[in-house]
Amino acid sequence: MGDRAPAYIGVDVGSSRTKLAVFDAAKQLLGWHVRKSGTDFAATADACLQAGLQMAGRTVEDIVYTVSTGYGRKNVRFADETRTEIGCHAKGCYYYFPMAVSIIDIGGQDNKIIKIDDRGRRISFKMNRKCAAGTGAFLEEMSARLDIPLEDMDGLARKSTDMVKLGSFCTVFSGTEVLENIRRGKQVSDIVKGLFFSVIKRVMEMDSLTEQVVMTGGVVANNRYLVQMAEESIGRKILVPEHPQLTGAIGAALYALEISGT
């Protein structure tokens, strides 16, 4: 190991984005990196490691232990161990909010609702893997149908004055509905808010929620209006961690700390 303080790495390789977090022995987040997973998960993880270490002011020699998680966790060449994404998301959320919560994670290809108790132990979880509706992939597909940049959707949804309610959850049928509403002269902002509403509705139907709710994931990180819409749906405030997209990677890094005995 180098002369500097040790580093503990967590990598969350999702189907859409790869996230990496660098922690020190005091459980402080030193550096991180997020990039598209692409078609070579191993190379992407390597690139995230270099960028994360540079931000943290660390080198490969400073790494004590690395844990990988997520869809492509077995593709991380430098990982010492793997952990499930459910466990890592739970641990990452408990790091920010050490209390009993329901975690809503909206990812690129799936949604999760994870319930933990006041000691951070997982009580239950539900996952939607069968359909892309209500996920980041759904919003990406709809942004292409509308011919607007994905990053513009949050701002457009906020401008809506007459939300268009979409009847279908299916990505294919929703696309047809979107085109039909454009033909009928509906405002793009009203259509986008309708798409956001369908995401929230889909998630809320997955499982019941406890009193305190946390929202995480890349979709939440880039579309904060979804949080506001979810708050309006359940009638109470929702917590969002400082880095909602990094929750899984942070949980993995915390496992690396625990496993190494630090």
pLDDT value, residue 132: 61
7-87+246-259 to CATH, choices 3.40.190.10, 2.60.200.30, 3.30.420.40, 1.10.1740.10: 3.30.420.40
Q: How far is CA 10 from CA 38, 41, 251, 252, in A?
A: 19, 15, 7, 4
Topology match between the domains 7-87+246-259 and 99-240: yes
- Its CATH class, for the domain covering 99-240, is alpha beta
Q: What are the CA-CA distances from residue 72 to residues 25, 52, 140 (Å)?
A: 26, 18, 21
Cα separation, 28 vs 8, whole angstroms: 10
Nearest by Cα to 19 from 27, 5, 29, 6: 29
**What's the confidence (pLDDT) of residue 1?**
46
Distance CA 175, CA 251 (A): 36
Convert the pLDDT of each residue in 82-108 to its tens digit.
999 999 999 999 999 999 999 999 988
Band of the pLDDT at 2, cuts 50, 70, 90? very low
pLDDT tens by residue, 126-176: 987 656 666 788 888 888 888 899 899 999 999 999 999 887 555 555 677
Helix, strand or coil, per DSSP, at residue 183:
helix
pLDDT (mean) for 48-75? 97
Neighbours of 250 (CB within 10 A): 28
pLDDT at 131: 60
Any idea where the domains of the chain sit in the sequence? 7-87+246-259, 99-240
Q: Which two tokens stand for residue 233?
A: 């749906």
pLDDT of 163-205, one tens digit each?
Answer: 998 875 555 556 778 878 888 889 999 999 999 998 898 888 8
Paired with 33 in beta bridges are 20
Query: Does 29 have pLDDT greater than 70?
Result: yes
pTM summary value: 0.91
Least confident of 10-19, 56-65, 144-153: 144-153
